[in-house]
Structure 1
Amino acid sequence: MSYKTQMEAAKKGIITEEMKVVAKKEQFSEEKLRDLVAYGRIAIPANSNHKSLSPEGIGEGLRTKINVNLGVSGDCIDHTQEMQKVKMAIDLGAEAIMDLSNYGKTNTFRQQLISYSKAMIGTVPMYDAIGYLEKDLAKISATDFLKVIEAHAKQGVDFMTIHAGINKKAVESFKRTNRLTNIVSRGGSLIFAWMEMTGNENPFYEYYDDILVILRQYDVTISLGDALRPGSINDSTDAGQISELIELGSLTKRAWERDVQVMVEGPGHMAMNEIAANMALQKRLCYGAPFYVLGPIVTDIAPGYDHITSAIGSAIAASHGADFLCYVTPAEHLRLPDLGDVKEGIIASKIAAHAADIAKGIPNAREWDNKMSDARRRIDWEEMFSLAIDGKKAREYFESTPPSDDESCSMCGKMCAMRTTNKVLKGEKVEFL
C-alpha cells in the first residue's frame, strides 16, 4: 500500500519504518503511535529526501523535544562556525536544528546541513526569499514565495515555519490592540510589510492549498508560525495573538485533510501566571496538534540571561502540554550566538524539557534522576559525571577546588551529609579532626 506522508500511512493503518524507530526510542506502542499520528496529535517530521535522518516524534505522550536555531546573517557570515554549532547541537542531543540563514545564497550550507544531520531540519522560507530571489520585498510575487518553499522541500527540509495565520483580519486585530512591542516575529514582520506595501492578502494564507500540495509531495511538516506572538509580557494573550491562533486552528484542520502533518508555534514573552492557560487554549483551538514554543520568556529585563528566563517559561509550558521547545541563548536580543552561547542555550532547554517530562509522567523520565541520586548517596563521582547533563562542566567544577579526600567535595569537606550518614548507617564512627 503506497503513501506520501506519515499521516497518510497512519490513516491507512500502516506502521512505517519511521514510526517503528520512534516507538522504540520512546518505549511506546507502535499501534498507539500510529493512531496518534493519524489523529494529528503526534508529528514525525521526516522529509523523504533527508536520508541521514534519525526520526523523532513530537507530541502527545512523548518526550519533550528541543530545537536549536542557527544560521548566518549579513553581519556574521561564517558557515564553518555554523557547522561547528550543528555538530555541537547533535552531540548534546538536540532533536532538531533550524537553519535561519537570511543572507546570500544559503542553499549550499543547507544541503551540507541536511546531508550531515541525523536531527530534524527546519527552515523559514520567508527568511531566504529575498536572498534566494534577489528581489526587493515588495517585488516578490506569491508564485516566487512558493518557489522558495518548493526548493527547500526538494533539498530535504523536514519542517517549515509558514506564517499563514496573519491574514488581513488578524492584521486588523493587531492594529486595534496598540501593542507595546508591535510585531517581533522576523517572518511575521516581513509578511506584514509585504501586505501593507502591496495591498494584497498574505500569500501563504491565500495560496495555502498550493503550499500543502508541495509539502505533501515531500512529507514536509508544516509548522504554523505565530507572526503575532507577544514580544513583551505586556502584549501577551491579546486580541492579535488570539485572533491569529484561531486562524491557525482552521489551517491545522485544512492541512490534516491533505495528510500534511502540523505543528503550531506559540508565544514568545509571557508572565508565568498566563502560561498554563495559553497551553490549554492552544490545544483546544488547534485540536491537540503538537505545540512548539519559543520560551515563553517570563520577564523582559534580563538580556544576557534569556536562556534562564526562557528555561523557566519552557518548563512551565511543557509541563502543561507544550511538546517542542525552541532553545534561547544568552545572546537573545543582543547578537548572533557564538559556540558558547549555543551550548548554554541547549543545556538550559534540555533541563527544562526533562523537568517537564518528569512532571508530565513520561515513562522512565525519573529513572535518570534516581540513578544520579543513588550515585550521590554512594559518593561515586565518576558515575555522577557520566550521568550529568553536562558531565564535562561538572567534572571541571569538582576538580577546580579538589577536596582532601574523595568522600566529599570542597564545599562541605568531612562535614558532607552523605559521608556522615553513610558512616553512621554502617556503624562507623564519625570524626572530623
Structure 2
Amino acid sequence: MTQMLAAKAGEITPAMRRVAEKEKVTPEFIREGVAAGTIVIPANINHKSLDPAGFGKGLRTKVNANIGTSTSFPDIDRELEKLKGVLEAKADAVMDLSTGGEIDRGRRRILEESTIAVGTVPIYQAFLENREKRGSMIEMSADDLFEVIERHCSDGVDFITVHCGVTLGILERIKNQSRITDIVSRGGSFLTGWMLHHGQENPLYEQYDRLLDLCLQYDVTLSLGDGLRPGCLADATDRAQIQELIVLGELVDRARERGVQAMVEGPGHVPLDQIAANVQVQKTLCKGAPFYVLGPLVTDIAPGYDHITAAIGGTVAAAAGADFLCYVTPSEHLGLPTLEDVREGIMASRLAAHAADLVKGIPGAMEWDREMARARKALNWEKQIELALDPQKAARLRRERNPGGHEACTMCGDFCAMKIVAQYMGKQPEYC
C-alpha cells in the first residue's frame, strides 16, 4: 500500500509519524495532506536507509541537490564524496543525474548511503543505453524506456522525474511561436527528438497508466517534469510552458485517483515580477500539488553567481507557495559542479527556503531567528556558530578574522554597539 492509499484509508504510517515529528505538527495533519495530495512523502519500499521527509503545504520548504556522473567525469567515487557533502550541508533530497560510467552501480551506491530521498531521471539512462546498443538514441522503444524506469523503481529510487506533459500537440505550438532557447530540458529534448523522428506520441503520456502501475508497486512519487520550462527570461510564462502545465494538472488528477503521490516541477528562468503568478497558476491548475522549482533564476547574466540569482527567485517562489527548491550552483551554465560548488548551492537554497518559511509562519522558523538574536546580543559566539545556517563556514570566518579571541568582532572592535549599550543600560543579555 502506498503512503497515499494508506492515508486515504485513514491509516497513519510510520513515515507519516516521522515527518510529523520533524515538522512539529500532528500526524493527522500529515495524513490529511497526503490523502489530499497536497503533501508527498517520497519513500520507496526498497530504500532501506531512508529517513523520510515530507514536501508540501504547511511544511518547511525543502531543498534538493543534484549530483551525478557525466561522460567527461564518469567516476562514481567523486559523486559519492559529493553525496557526503550534500548530507553534511543538510539538503532534504538528492537527485542522481548520472550520464556517464556505470550508472546502475552508481545509483545503487547512492541509495545505500543516502538517508534522504533520492530522485532520478530514468530517460537519461534509457537513451544512453540505446545509443550503446543500437548506435542511436533515437531508436529507443517504449519498452526500453519502461524497462529502465522499472529498474530505477526496483532499486529503491524515491521519486522519478518524468516528462509526461511534452505532447505532439504542444510541440506543434512551440514550432509556431518564437522562443530564443527552444527546449533546455535534457529529458524534454530527448523525447522531442524521439517523437518527431517516429511521428508518435510521447510514450510517458500515452502509456501513463503503465507508469502509475510501477509507482504503485514500489510506492514511487512522480515528479512531473517541466520539459518545456523557459531557459531564459524572454521565454518565461509563454504558451508552451502553460499548455504543458495544463496537461500536468490533468495527470496529477489521474495519479491521485490511483493512489500515487505526485508533485509538479516548475520553471527555471523567470523575471522577478512573474514568479508569484507562476506559483499561483501551478497551484490552481494542479489542485495544490507540491511545487518543485529550479531556482527560479531571475536574470540570465550571472554565470558564476547563479546560486545567488536562484536564491533570490527561490525566496519569492517559496514565499508565494512553492514547496521544494532545486539548488543551483555557482557553476550552473559553466560546467560540472565541484564539492564546494555543491555546498555553496545548497546553502544558498536553504537560506532562500528559510527566508520564505519565516513569511509562511512555518513552526520553528521564527524561533530560530530569535535565538540567534539573543546570542548576538550576548556576544555569545559559540551559540551564534551553533545556530548558524552553515556552522562550518561561520566558525572558520570567526577564527580567521578574530585571531586574538576578541569579545566583539574585529569589524567594530571597541565600538561594538551591542557591548556599549549593554554596559550603559546595565542590561544582562541572555546566553551569558
TM-score scaled by structure 2? 0.96
> Distance in 2 between the 1:194 and 1:130 partners?
10
Q: How far apart, CA to CA, are the structure 2 residues paired with 1:205 and 1:405?
A: 62
Distance 1:34 1:174 in 2: 40
In structure 2, the partner of 1:279 is 279
1:115 maps to 112
What amino acid sits opposite 2:47 in the alignment?
H
What is the CA-CA distance between 1:399 and the residue it aligns to? 2.3
Retained in 2: the 8 A contact 1:164–1:204? Answer: yes
CA–CA distance in structure 2, aligned partners of residues 364 and 295 of structure 1: 24
Question: What is the SS of the residue equivalent to 1:177?
Answer: coil
Q: Give 1:22's aligned amino acid.
A: V
What corresponds to 2:220 in structure 1?
220
Q: Report Cα offsets for 1:376-421 as digits up to 9, x if no partner.
A: 0000111111111112211222222327663311111111111111
CA gap of 1:354–1:204, structure 2 versus 1, over 3 A, is same
Residue 18 of structure 1: CA displacement? 0.5
Q: Identify which range, 10-19 or 98-107, moves more after superposition.
A: 98-107
Residues 303 and 334, structure 2, Cα contact 8 Å, conserved in 1:
yes
The answer to whether the 8 A contact 1:226-1:265 is kept is yes
Shift of 1:173: 2.0
> What corresponds to 1:95 in structure 2?
92
- In the other structure, the counterpart of 1:189 is 189
Q: TM-score, normalised by structure 1?
A: 0.96
C-alpha contact (below 8 Å) 2:75/2:101 kept by paired residues: no
Aligned-partner residue type, residue 344 of structure 1: E
Q: CA deviation at 1:285?
A: 0.3
Could you tell me how far 1:32 is from its partner in structure 2? 1.8
Q: Provide the aligned C-alpha RMSD in A.
A: 1.2
1:301 aligns with 2:339: no
- How many residue pairs match? The answer is 425
Aligned mate of 2:47, from 32, 46, 50: 50
C-alpha separation between the residues in 1 aligned to 2:351 and 2:75? 29
> For the residues of structure 2 that align with 1:104 and 1:403, how far apart are their CA atoms?
46
Contact 2:128 2:137 in 1 (8 A): no
1:10 counterpart (7, 22, 28): 7
Give deviations 1:411-432, integer Å, cap 9, x for gaps: 111111111111111189xxxx
AA paired with 1:201? E
Indicate the residue corresponding to 1:230 in structure 2: 230
Counterpart residue number, 1:198: 198
Q: What one-letter code is carried by the residue in structure 1 that aligns with 2:300?
A: D
AA aligned opposite 2:5: E
Contact 1:173 1:243 in 2 (8 A): no
Aligned letter for 1:234?
A
Alignment of 1:34 onto 2:31: yes
Residues 116-151 of structure 1, C-alpha deviation per residue, up to 9 Å, x if partnerless?
A: 111000000011113344342221001111101000
Tell me the amino acid that sits aligned with residue 319 of structure 1. A
Matched ranges for 1:119-130 at <5 A: 119-130=116-127
Long gaps (5+) in structure 1: 429-433
Contiguous gaps of at least 5 residues in structure 2:
none
> In 1, Cα distance between the equivalents of 2:184 and 2:174?
12
Contact 2:42 2:221 in 1 (8 A): yes
Is 1:67–1:95's contact at 8 Å kept on the other side of the alignment? yes
Residues 45-103 of structure 1 show CA distances to partners (whole Å, capped at 9, x for unaligned) of 00000010000000000001111101000011121110011011111111101000012
> Residue 69 of structure 2: SS of its match in structure 1?
coil
